[in-house]
Amino acid sequence: MQLKKVAEHVHARLVGNGDVEIGAVASIESASVGDLIFVEEKANLPRALESAASAVLVGDFGAGESSKPLLVCAQPRLAFARAARFLAPASHRHSGIHASAVVHPAARLANDVTVDESVVIGEGAQIGSGSRIGAGSVIGAQVRMGNDCELHPNVTVYRGTRLGNRVVIHAGAVLGSDGFGYVREEKTGHYEKFPQIGRLEIEDDVEIGANSTIDRGALDITRIGRGTKIDNLVHVGHNVQIGEDVVIAAQTGLSGSAVVEDNVVIGGQVGIADHVRIEEGAILGAQSGIPSNKIIRGKGIVFWGTPARPIREYLKELAVLAQLAKKK
Amino acid sequence: MQLKKVAEHVHARLVGNGDVEIGAVASIESASVGDLIFVEEKANLPRALESAASAVLVGDFGAGESSKPLLVCAQPRLAFARAARFLAPASHRHSGIHASAVVHPAARLANDVTVDESVVIGEGAQIGSGSRIGAGSVIGAQVRMGNDCELHPNVTVYRGTRLGNRVVIHAGAVLGSDGFGYVREEKTGHYEKFPQIGRLEIEDDVEIGANSTIDRGALDITRIGRGTKIDNLVHVGHNVQIGEDVVIAAQTGLSGSAVVEDNVVIGGQVGIADHVRIEEGAILGAQSGIPSNKIIRGKGIVFWGTPARPIREYLKELAVLAQLAKKK
Amino acid sequence: MQLKKVAEHVHARLVGNGDVEIGAVASIESASVGDLIFVEEKANLPRALESAASAVLVGDFGAGESSKPLLVCAQPRLAFARAARFLAPASHRHSGIHASAVVHPAARLANDVTVDESVVIGEGAQIGSGSRIGAGSVIGAQVRMGNDCELHPNVTVYRGTRLGNRVVIHAGAVLGSDGFGYVREEKTGHYEKFPQIGRLEIEDDVEIGANSTIDRGALDITRIGRGTKIDNLVHVGHNVQIGEDVVIAAQTGLSGSAVVEDNVVIGGQVGIADHVRIEEGAILGAQSGIPSNKIIRGKGIVFWGTPARPIREYLKELAVLAQLAKKK
């Protein structure tokens, strides 16, 4: 593909020879001829220009003279991501249902759905156009899935779960499993199961990482809002409400009925107890912990520690303590 | 089903019209006609009575006049859970072995076992009456499973693991995997595997969450006691002994040879190191950590922090530190 | 097998009757006639000699008189591990491809590979001699796997991942999944996926625990070095570089581009943020946390807490704080 076509697609200003052929994206270190690379900080530009890459995506700082053709734009990393998708080879999708898959006769699949080896699709499930189900995945009865979803292998989707469009689920993830709710019988001390008969709803453009687990609601609905991205091995409990464009890093856990508003950023291994509310735009540092029923408020403010507090306070406490210990 | 039949089943006292038809349970928010709801605190009773539900399960406080029929009992949440099971539609179990399953000829399955699509059952495995094995699950050789167990899809049970009756295993869980034990060769610094040839035994009425992993014993037995409930993404190491009626929330990990006595409650993301003993009835707050070889003692006492200490001490320490930091 | 043959195999000095028949290894508690047990500390020798075992592996301290035949050596635990492998019954491998497996015609499998039930192997995959693929596992296109690997059931290996020789992967693990990388579009606030098109390479003699997830590189390579052992439910992010003979306990997470040098030991539930470097031979205590871009240096030094500091400092801080709280 000619560089000028890439420039046009990503809305970048072309500086230099636009007829150069670009075949793929690469990192500065691994680039070879035909690759497009990107630079976010001016300091890295010389290294980029010395690489074997055929062209460089740069921020506005890069508009000067250059030994390689440049694509100049405001968000070079974003443009790079878009260029990567633009250049990616069309996967030769063998749209169709593999002979080893078992699709219930009362499931409704759009014409161009791809169902890989050993997939199981239950009664009454609906799968929208362009969606792909990876090998070994099990789609329960009455599941509804929109268009252009991609489920990687060995995913389990419990009965009745609903997915929007363009939802990506990585291998081994479990969607719609029973929440962790029991009632203790006072006399015997035995735990009896509280009904876990609600539903899980995942909105458009959500991506969920490998081996993460998202429970269905107990009586109502667990919801993951549009555009939210969840990393590997994350746990989301029953009745949790997650807003739009939320980012949750690996191994974080959200207990039952927690609420996470839009645009929140949550680090790895964070623990959010039941009935917590994380208000819009707050940022939770890795490993922080929010006790039950707490509200975390503060757009753009970073919280850290257990119990989580504004990071400035937390760091001050750490410094004071270290000082005291040194004196002893 | 008539309300009076539900009342009888859950041992509640009926106040009002027992001929009302009840079809399902629901939350106050989502209830519609035909639903049974429950109220644990008197303050929520007015909301319940304003809902569309047809009847309300209440504590003894609710014995007065009411615009809806009431079921009065000592533990309304418990009665609600039992009513839910009572009202649940009998799943039309297609008891039998799906054609795509591969069952070793030397496995012994009771007559009414359900084996779903693509299940694999190994040599010498025994599966008791009424048990169901979800699609894609793999049951190793010599596994013994009791009656009325339910394995959700894509569960893996390693060779020789034993499950009691009414054990529920959620999707993606791994039972009886090798423990994490190595011996370092002093000269080369390489790790060699210590034998992991013991067994995992899970007693009656245990439930294990999605994608949790429970290792077999190294030389002896890892044991999960009767009635214990384990949430998603929990790790239980080799030789761990867990008592009866223990509750373990999501993402908690127990290292090798830890002992958890009966009636312990463990929050989410707790870390229990090797050879720890948690004595009967102790409560471990979320994210707390218990270092190797420690004993945690105190029925009903909450421990928190790393290293875990009684929560009163921990909160006092946090307060003192916050105060000091403010002065600086 | 005669004890003297075991002695020879593990390079131990035989004291007593070498004609005793040994059939298996066992713990002191569970040993019966025909079993070999081991003792690392002299204090446990009397218990070992009272057990039903037929012979005892001991350290140099055990060279005296004894009621049972002894095998004396410098590292009795290591010798025991080797004896266990020596005595293990040859698994009657039914080398071959099960009829229910789906192997792409353009995959290349060595002659004596074992492919279990419902396995899927993609286009262009290569699998070396003696390797075994457990039931329900899915091997993506272009995966390369060396000799004598063992994949337990329901493992997913994404396209292009490379495994060396003698790699062991436990059930449910996911190898080569997409890393967690997004770019935020400034105007809309939506996250767009950064390309995750690099590779995962796992070197010889690595073992990876059940339900662990290891992401591929974004543009480059995620690497797990020779002999490294990873426990259950561990997360390894994109571009992470792990050295040789590293040990990582359960539920630990490593964020993108972290570097862990050779011979590092990492406890359970540790959190390592992005671009951290853990230098050779450092030891990270359970639940400790290393913030972004930090370097941890110190062969044989234990670090603990979040942010992790040398354990002596950390314990002193804890003591000072407890003292202050007591005074109040």
Distances (CA, A) of A128 to A112, A239, C111: 9, 26, 41
Q: What percent of chain B has pLDDT over 90?
A: 94
**Residue B90 pLDDT > 80, yes or no?**
no
DSSP A229-243: EE-TT-EE-TT-EE-
Q: With an 8 Å Cβ cutoff, are A177 and B152 in contact? A: yes
Q: What is the structure's pLDDT at C89?
A: 77
Mean pLDDT score, B8-28? 96
Instruction: Tell me what percent of chain C is helix, strand and coil, each rounded to the nearest 5.
Output: 15, 30, 55
Average pLDDT over residues B33-52: 94
pLDDT in tens, B270-290: 999 999 999 999 999 999 999
Closest CA of chain A from B135, distance in Å: 7
Residue C111: exposed, middle, or buried by beta-carbon count in 10 A (0-12, 13-18, 19+)? exposed
Residue C327 has a pLDDT of 85
Helix (H, G, I), strand (E, B) or coil at C20: coil
CA nearest to B177, candidates B207, B138, B204, B217: B217
Task: For residue C184, give the nearest of A72, A227, A7 by alpha carbon.
Answer: A227
How far is the C-alpha of B182 from the C-alpha of B193, rounded, in Å? 4
CB within 8 Å: B74 and A186: yes
From C191, C271, C307, residue closest to A247, measured CB to CB: C191
- The confidence score (pLDDT) of residue A60 equals 87
What is the enclosing helix (H) or strand (E) of A260?
strand A259-260
Distance CA(C55)–CA(C68), nearest Å, equals 6
**Overall average pLDDT of the C158-174 stretch:** 98
Catalytic residue among B152, B170, B235, B238: B238
Q: What is the pLDDT of residue C92?
A: 59
pLDDT exceeds cutoff 90 at A318: yes
- Is C136 close to A116, i.e. CB distance below 8 A? no
Cross-strand partners of A109: A127
Cα C271 from Cα C254, distance rounded (Å): 6
C171 and B154 within 8 Å at the Cβ level: the answer is no
Question: How confident is the model over B48-88, as pLDDT tens digits?
Answer: 999 999 999 999 887 677 899 999 999 999 999 999 999 98
Say which DSSP state B43 is in: G
Q: Letter for the amino acid at C290?
A: I
Which residue in B233, B287, B38 sits closest to A292, CA to CA?
B287
Q: What is the mean pLDDT of chain A?
A: 96
What percentage of chain A exceeds 70 in pLDDT? 98
Residue A40 burial class via C-beta count within 10 angstroms: exposed 0-12, middle 13-18, buried 19 and up: middle
The rounded distance, in Å, linking the Cα atoms of C62 and B218 is 24
Q: Minimal CA–CA distance to B118: which of A138, C250, A299?
A: A138
Distance (Å, whole) CA A271 – CA B253: 14
Q: Supply the pLDDT for residue B91.
A: 66
Tell me, yes or no, if A275 is annotated catalytic. Answer: no
- Residues in B closer than 8 angstroms to C170, CB to CB, are 174, 177-178
CATH number assigned to the domain with residue range C3-87, chosen from the 4 options 3.30.413.10, 3.40.1390.10, 3.30.70.141, 3.30.70.600: 3.40.1390.10
How close A186 comes to chain C (CA, Å)? 34
Largest CA distance in chain B: 82
| Alpha carbon distance A247, A226 (integer Å) | 11
Distance of residue C132 Cα from the nearest chain B Cα, in angstroms: 15
Provide the pLDDT for residue C249.
98
At C65 the pLDDT is 77
Percent of chain C with pLDDT over 90: 94
Helices in A68-190 by DSSP H: which ranges?
Answer: 76-87
CATH pick for B96-312 out of 3.40.640.10, 1.20.1630.10, 2.160.10.10, 3.40.50.1980: 2.160.10.10
What integer pLDDT is reported at residue A327 of this predicted model? 85
For B1, residues 6+ apart whose C-beta sits below 8 A from its C-beta are B21, B22, B23, B86, B87
- Is A236 within 8 Å of A260 (Cβ atoms)? no
- Four-point Cα dihedral C96, C99, C104, C105, nearest 10: 70
What is the mean pLDDT of the segment spanning A220-227? 98
What average pLDDT does the segment A165-174 reach?
Answer: 98
* Cβ atoms of A83 and A9 closer than 8 Å: yes
Helix (H, G, I), strand (E, B) or coil at A87: helix
Q: Do B205 and A213 touch (CB under 8 A)?
A: no
The pTM score is 0.97
Tokens of A222: 């667990």
CA A10 – CA A18 distance, rounded (Å): 14
Mutate to test the interface with C, among B154, B177, B241, B288 (most CBs of C within 10 A): B177
Query: Among the listed ranges A167-176, B9-18, C87-96, which one has the minimum average pLDDT value?
Result: C87-96
Q: What is the pLDDT of residue C91?
A: 66
Rounded average pLDDT over C12-32:
95
Residue type, B261: E
What is the pLDDT at residue B328?
76
Residue A9: HSE in the Cβ half-sphere, 13 Å Cα cutoff: 18
Nearest CB to C180: which of A29, A171, A250?
A: A250
Question: Which chains have 3 or more CB–CB distances shorter than 8 Å to chain C?
Answer: A, B
Does C96-312 match C3-87 at the fold level?
no
Q: Quick check: A154 and C177 CB within 8 A?
A: no
CA–chain centroid gap for A258, Å, is 19
Q: Per-domain residue ranges for chain B?
A: 3-87, 96-312
Burial class, A89, CB count within 10 angstroms (exposed 0-12 / middle 13-18 / buried 19+): exposed
User: How high is the pLDDT of residue C2?
Assistant: 95
A170 pLDDT higher than 80: yes
Rounded Cα distance between A162 and A175, Å, is: 9
To the nearest whole Å, the CA of A53 is away from the closest chain C CA by: 14
- Under 8 Å between Cβ of B114 and B106: no
Which candidate in C152, C170, C235, C238 is catalytic?
C238
Six-digit token pair at A95?
A: 């749209």
- Given this model, what pLDDT does residue A62 score? 73
Say if CB A38 and CB A56 are below 8 A apart. Answer: yes
Distance between CA atoms of C37 and C321, rounded to whole angstroms?
Answer: 46
Q: What stretches of chain B show up as alpha helix (H) in DSSP?
A: 3-10, 45-50, 76-87, 311-327
Residues B225-228: contacts with CB within 8 Å, 24+ apart?
A: B225/B262, B226/B164, B227/A190, B227/A191, B227/B203, B228/B203
Give the DSSP letter string of B7-29: HHHHT-EEES-TT-B--EE--TT
Cβ contacts of B88 on chain A, cutoff 8 Å = 195, 197
> Which of helix, strand or coil describes residue B268?
coil
**Residue-wise pLDDT tens digits, C217-252:** 999 999 999 999 999 999 999 999 999 999 999 999
Contact between chains at C182 and A229 (C-beta distance less than 8 A)? yes
Ramachandran sector of residue A12 (left: φ over 0; alpha: ψ -120 to 50; beta: rest) = beta
Task: Note the pLDDT tens digit of each residue in A260-306.
Answer: 999 999 999 999 999 999 999 999 999 999 999 999 999 999 999 99
Range B204-218 average pLDDT: 98
Among A211-225, B1-15, B186-200, C85-99, the minimum mean pLDDT is found in: C85-99
Q: What is the mean pLDDT of residues C114-121?
A: 97
Residues in chain C within 8 Å Cβ distance of B154: 136, 154, 172
- pLDDT at residue B60, as a whole number: 87
State pLDDT tens for residues A92-122. Answer: 566 799 999 999 999 999 999 999 999 999 9
Catalytic residue among A98, A235, A238, A275: A238
Average pLDDT over residues B178-183: 97
Task: Name the residue with higher pLDDT: B207 or C93.
Answer: B207
